[in-house]
């Protein structure tokens, strides 16, 4: 496991871009138990969601309501995969984070 927990880590970046040859489950668990480690990909996704939300609210983008509904659904699924302090299924949580990452990047490119 590399000590870079951000998207500068090629394995993490590749996973979030759709390559599942390496799943950063250990990294997610480590970040979850050490939340002050920065930068990290969870923090970067949080910032991505904020930027995408700002873009949706500041511009009248065609399909906005569809994207808002999809983003809301993905965030609910993410919350359901983390019912308490522990992450029982890090792979499932990572999949939800990846879906959010992909959607937010689509929004930012629109």
Residue-wise pLDDT tens for the chain (110 aa)? 568 999 999 999 999 999 999 999 999 999 988 989 999 999 999 999 999 988 888 876 666 678 888 888 888 888 777 766 677 789 999 999 999 999 999 989 98
CA distance 34 to 65: 35
> pLDDT value at position 8?
96
Domain-by-domain residue ranges, the chain?
Answer: 10-109
Long-range interactions of 4-11: CB distance < 8 A, separation 24+: 5/30, 5/31, 5/37, 5/39, 5/40, 5/41, 6/39, 6/40, 6/41, 6/44, 7/41, 7/44, 8/39, 9/41
CA distance 19 to 35: 25
């Amino acid at each position: 496991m590399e000590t870079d927990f951000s998207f500068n880590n090629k394995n993490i970046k590749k996973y979030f871009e759709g390559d599942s040859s390496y799943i950063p489950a250990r990294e997610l668990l480590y970040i979850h138990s050490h939340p002050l480690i920065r930068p990290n990909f969870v923090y970067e996704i949080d910032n991505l969601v904020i930027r995408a939300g700002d873009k949706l609210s500041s511009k009248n983008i065609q399909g906005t309501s569809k994207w808002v509904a999809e983003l809301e659904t993905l965030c609910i699924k993410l919350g359901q995969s983390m019912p308490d302090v522990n992450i029982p299924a890090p792979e499932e949580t990572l999949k939800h984070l990846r879906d959010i990452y992909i959607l937010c990047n689509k929004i930012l490119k629109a």
